[in-house]
Amino acid sequence: MQVSFGAGRKDRTMSGVLILGSGSLIARACASEFASRNYNVYFAGRNKTEAEKLANDFHIRYEIKSSGFEFDATNFGSHKDFINNLFELANDIEYVLIAFGYLGKQEISQENFSEAEKVIDTNLTGVVSVCELIASYFIPKSSGTIAVISSVAGDRGGQSNYIYGSAKAGLSAYLSGLRSRLCKNNIHVLTVKPGFVDTPMTYGMKIPKLLLASPEKVGKDIFKAMLNKKNVIYTPFYWKWIMFIVKLIPESIFKKLKI
């Protein structure tokens, strides 16, 4: 059972945003941007209790309607019922941010396919499964925005994380096709490519502070891009130029780099 709260006393829009991957600090930061402008916010994640607590906090803090749901990205068989039930309960949803993901460990993925499978299923297969269902809901309305967090790691496969990077590369290619398919229905698809962000995913990594962005910065960039109907964004912006240079490195040199 989901937890749902009333709209509160503030004047607000009639639109809502769905956050798939409520454990993501980036997603929470983006949700705060929406909530502070009186959008209703719906959270979904593997930890139902956490999603419900987050919804309660947003309801109290922003005086908006907020609900928490359980959602498992890799339980593909549950996705259809989840989406149908959710949109029936929350028919004001106009924006969706898909923020779930799994970095995994490259060394384990090389030796144990179950780890590689988890990386691919979480970052690619699960997104494809739920995106197609969301698209089917938005098409009759001829409106809606779907934003998905991919990664700069998908721009070029490096030896340190090529399983994760390949999943994100496939995801970016998928979103490009989905964007082309849905544009005629007035539905927008945004691909988000963050660099290094100060989240649990990067804890323990030796990353220069200048390249480590805050979740709040990235969340704000995503919010602006969703409202402005951007197609692809790098966040922070300088990653666009970093990856431009990385992609120019000849393969004979790149394959020897420890990245």
> pTM of the full predicted structure?
0.92
Single out the residue of 19, 48, 54, 51 nearest to residue 34, CA to CA.
Answer: 19
Residue 258: pLDDT band with limits 50, 70, 90:
confident
pLDDT surpasses 80 at 29: yes
- Rounded Cα distance between 149 and 203, Å, is 19
pLDDT surpasses 50 at 9: no
Residue type, 155: D
**Mean pLDDT of all residues in 219-235:** 98
The percent of residues above 70 in pLDDT, for the chain, comes to: 91
- Rounded Cα distance between 64 and 129, Å, is 29
pLDDT tens by residue, 85-125: 999 999 999 999 999 999 999 999 999 999 999 999 999 99
Residue 5: pLDDT band with limits 50, 70, 90:
very low
Output the domain CATH number for residue 11: 3.40.50.720
Range of the domain at 26: 3-254
The pLDDT of residue 247 is 96
pLDDT surpasses 80 at 25: yes
**β-strands 66-70, 93-98: how paired?**
unpaired
pLDDT tens by residue, 152-180: 999 999 999 999 999 999 999 999 999 99
Total of domains in the chain: 1
pLDDT surpasses 50 at 46: yes
Residue 202: pLDDT band with limits 50, 70, 90:
low
* Domain-located, residue 259: no
Residue 7: pLDDT band with limits 50, 70, 90:
very low
Q: Give 36's contacts (C-beta < 8 A, 6+ positions apart).
A: 62
**Mean pLDDT of all residues in 202-226:** 84
Tell me the CA distances in angstroms from 216 to 38, 155, 198, one per residue in order.
18, 24, 10
* Domain-located, residue 206: yes
Q: Is-contact 236 213, C-beta < 8 A?
A: yes
